[in-house]
Amino acid sequence: MRKQKNGRNDGGHAEYTCPNCYVDEVKCGLRKPLPQSAVLGAKDLPRTVLSDHIEDRLFKRLKQEKQDRAAAAGKDIDEAVLLFQKIEGVEVCLFGMYIQEFGAECSFPNQRCIYLSFLDSVKYFRPEIKTVSGEALSTFVYHEILIGYLEYSKLRGFTSCYIWACPPLKGDDYILHCHPEIQKTLKSDKLREWFLSMLRKASKEEVVVELKNLYDHFFITMGECKAKVTAARLPYFDGDYWPGVAEEMISQLWQEEDDRKLQKKSKAKEIIKKRALESSGNTDLSGNASKDALLMQKVKYFFDLCVLLTNALYYGGSLHM
């Protein structure tokens, strides 16, 4: 063990211990680390009847304020699930996910829905081994956390969950601030397969009973159903992909209308647009109704294009529990 005089204490005899040497001695059994109980924190301060009363009141009021804030925003409380593992005496956050929950008090189409908005991890999980099935043990653990959450949510009365499988761009971080350089970011197809693998496990355990993507669920007519798909029928989640696309398309529609008013486009083009709306079964050609129909035509075209490009669309994929 290297020891030297502490340069910051010129007149004293304090000794400096190399932290690397200390760790090596702990591993070899030559030194015992301090027990966790030896490191005192705020929770170890003496408690009194007054402190307990104030804490209980504060926690209840914070919980109520969070519920009121969520109700005012038209959604249920956002949830966060984190996984910690103690590595060399340090508790490391390895995995996290953010969820938006919309309970029975929410209106349709968000009623009893869950939106898995963000999921993130860092490559520090130990041990780095594979399971009997051949998948990484970390994948097994993360899948079990997700399946466990879906199972618990199903028992609480939630009926569907929407997942947007989209990898972050280079340099972006979803939840955890930084990632090791050795960690690779999954591409879109690999990330979708990662989620689908988890959902196949959940389906096998009957936690999930049906799996669809957003396009199949809302744009493909089944049986005798003749209901038209309007923007109000699609779920709207904070930060989700399709609402952003829809809002951009709405801005384009408004801009196109403003341009028509300024340039006074020919009547023939208006007749063509009117016929296109009538051919799609829209008899109400008032301002808002026609914009809704045009928006859904654009959205459907966009999702059609996504299906052709990815061959396995999973933007906003939904599963029923």
**Where do the structural domains in the chain lie, given as residue ranges?**
3-34, 71-219, 241-310
Residue 238 structure tokens: 């904070």
Largest CA distance in the chain: 95
Give pLDDT, residue 314: 35
Q: What is the mean pLDDT of residues 105-116?
A: 87
Instruction: Work out whether strand 15-17 and strand 3-5 pair parallel, antiparallel, or are unpaired.
Output: antiparallel
Exposed / middle / buried, residue 215 (Cβ in 10 Å: 0-12, 13-18, 19+): buried
Amino acid at 155: L
16-37: pLDDT as tens digits: 778 888 888 888 888 877 666 6
CB 150 within 8 A of CB 321: yes
**Exposed, middle or buried, 55 (CB in 10 Å: 0-12/13-18/19+)?**
exposed
C-alpha 188 chain-centroid distance: 15
State which amino acid sits at residue 119: L
Exposed/middle/buried for 310, CB within 10 Å: 0-12, 13-18, 19+?
A: middle
Q: What pTM did the predictor assign?
A: 0.64
Convert the pLDDT of each residue in 55-109 to its tens digit: 889 888 988 887 777 777 665 667 889 999 988 888 899 999 999 888 888 888 8
In this structure, the number of other CB atoms found within 10 A of the CB of residue 262 comes to 8
Q: Which tokens belong to 165?
A: 């499988």
d(CA 218, CA 108): 14
